[in-house]
Amino acid sequence: MLFTSLEFFIFLPLVLLLFSAMPAGQRWAVLLFASYVFYGIWQPFNLVYLGAVTLLVYGCGWALDRERHSAVRKALLVAGLVALLGSLVAFKFYDFIAGELERSFSSVFGFVLPKLGISTPVGYSFYAFSAASYLIDIYARRLCGTRHLGHVGTYVAYFPKIFAGPIERATEFLPQITRDLRTDPNRTLLGLQLIGWGLFKKVAIADNLAPLVDRNFGIVAFASPVELLISVYFFAFQIYCDFSGYTDIAIGVSLLFGIQLMENFRRPYLARSTAEFWGERWHISLGHWFRDYLYIPLGGSRSGVLRQYINVMVVFIVSGLWHAGLGYGVGWTFLIWGALNGAYQWAGLATRGLWGRLGDLLPALRQSAALFLVRILLTFHLVAIAWVFFRAKSVGDALMVLQKIGANLLEIPSLVVQYPFTAEHGLGFGLIAFLFVVETLDERKPFTQRLAAAPTILRWSYYYIVIFGLLILGRWQAKEFIYMQF
């Protein structure tokens, strides 16, 4: 069931009615039931995976909480993580690795490896990581293992976040559903605003940019440099609006039930460095997951400069592997995407001291609006270059896109003047400009606060703009959310 489907707009009010009718202390049960319906409608057999993960983490968590011997606790944790993350690796990579080995060695050894022939269950990457964090937090004594199977089941399966996050922590989520769940008028208003804005980003912006992106990335060898450049820019905003749109809807829907999910995006294309982009603005829940459960356990920056550089690259390569299979298949492009972003972090670490000393020598630079804008533009283009490997069907296609644009870079301005732009292009650029204005205003002061303080006529004018935009520009049920396809 998609957030953008008619079924969801029938499903959500029914769940809210049932939620309101239940005693406050039992409302978690409505959310658990609704979550299994929401997930099972997509593909009923996937409920088997969801149920298995729930029982696994419930049993392991309960045992970890009771056990006092460190060796046994460590064995329980390892067993639980191997089952969770090992199954994720098998779903994503086994058939790909088997195929690569066959292509490399079949002519020599003449063997054929068996294939699983199954894809990763929808949303599995997200709820497997949530389940893993639950076990790790219990092992680290940051969380007590609950004996309430229903609460654990609700945490794992909670329907607004199950397909594409945020990757919520049990330490934040479980306390909310174990107390009486109550709706709040202010949260409800904020939730509706987020749902509307998230839908606009998805169906009006992302899905209107998608056709041109898909078309040109599908014919890289025949597309012109200008077409490819436009597609690179459009894809950067497509993936942002698609993914952050999902997050906005998930957070908004949760607020209707009195539940606060963590922020997952913070206007990422206004970042002034790739470190800020990945650490503070893009897919924040995943970034924090890798920081807390991989980077810091590996030693972080505590074991010397060389170890820090290695740890940073490990995190980004693992992140690239986690993204593999994202609707664009499983291939080497995701590994390169992760390594390239890791290299950006290396460059940032290597030059951090230099920029700090330069700022001390020239204090005016720190407040320079021109330098601020240059840093934003440079960061955006570095990220956009990496997105080419994320979106391209193969490494060869990605390199061809960059080669075509790079070889004609000096001629791009004259080629743009001669290019026959269409209404499709105009709509895409107009939507991106509208998004940029909203996000720039939001960066200075949260847009929800601006709306709350605005005169009634302005506030309702904005609501009507979004509603009419959804009705006129929206491509309803045109595409799944990209990150659902993990």
Q: Using one digit for the tens of pLDDT, what is the confidence trace for 273-287?
A: 999 999 999 999 999
Question: How is residue 469 written in tokens?
Answer: 């935009």
327 pLDDT more than 60:
no
Closest by CA position to 4, among listed 248, 237, 187, 189: 248
The enclosing H or E element of 246 equals helix 225-256
Exposed / middle / buried, residue 48 (Cβ in 10 Å: 0-12, 13-18, 19+) = exposed
Lowest-pLDDT range of 94-98, 105-109, 244-248, 417-421: 105-109
pLDDT of residue 107: 58
* 194 shares a domain with 175: no
d(CA 256, CA 265): 20
pLDDT of residue 225: 94
d(CA 41, CA 225): 43
Quote the strand ranges of 271-427, DSSP E: none
pLDDT of residue 326: 55
486 pLDDT more than 60:
no
* 166 shares a domain with 224: no
Angle 305-310-316 (CA atoms, 0-180°, nearest 5)?
130
The pLDDT mean for the chain works out to 90
d(CA 32, CA 153): 7
* 91 shares a domain with 221: no
Within a domain: 234: yes
* 172 shares a domain with 196: no
Within a domain: 107: no
256 pLDDT more than 90:
yes
What digits encode the pLDDT tens for the residues 8-59?
999 999 999 999 999 988 999 999 999 999 999 878 999 999 999 999 999 9
Of the candidates 123, 156, 182, which is a domain's last residue?
182
d(CA 64, CA 70): 10
The residue-averaged pLDDT of 83-88 equals 92
d(CA 34, CA 148): 18
425 is catalytic: no
* 142 shares a domain with 220: no
Give the pLDDT band (50/70/90) at residue 109. Answer: low
Concatenating the DSSP letter of every residue in 395-434 gives HHHHHHHHHHHHHTTTTHHHHHHHS---HHHHHHHHHHHH
Query: DSSP state, 262?
Result: P
Within a domain: 368: yes
pLDDT of residue 325: 66
Of the candidates 128, 159, 182, which is a domain's last residue?
182
Question: How is residue 431 written in tokens?
Answer: 């939507």
CA distances to 11, 248, 478 from 251, in Å = 17, 5, 22
Lowest-pLDDT range of 89-103, 196-210, 314-328: 89-103
* 126 shares a domain with 30: yes
On the CB side of 440, CA atoms within 13 Å amount to 8
Q: How many CB atoms lie within 10 A of CB 192?
A: 15
Secondary structure class of 340 (helix, strand, coil): helix
* 137 shares a domain with 244: no
* 370 shares a domain with 411: yes
Question: Against a cut of 0.85, is the pTM above it?
Answer: yes
pLDDT of residue 450: 83
- Domain range for 419 is 186-485
**Do 175 and 445 form a contact (C-beta atoms < 8 A)?**
no
Report the amino acid identity of residue 106. Answer: S
Closest by CA position to 39, among listed 132, 158, 170: 158
**Residues, the chain, total?**
486
With a CB cutoff of 8 Å and minimum separation 6, the contacts of 132 are 80, 81, 84, 85, 293
Within a domain: 243: yes
Q: Say which of 151, 283, 288, 323 is annotated catalytic.
A: 323
* 441 shares a domain with 413: yes
Question: How is residue 333 written in tokens?
Answer: 């492009």
Within a domain: 176: yes
Give the pLDDT band (50/70/90) at residue 242. Answer: very high
* 162 shares a domain with 292: no
Overall number of domains in the chain: 2
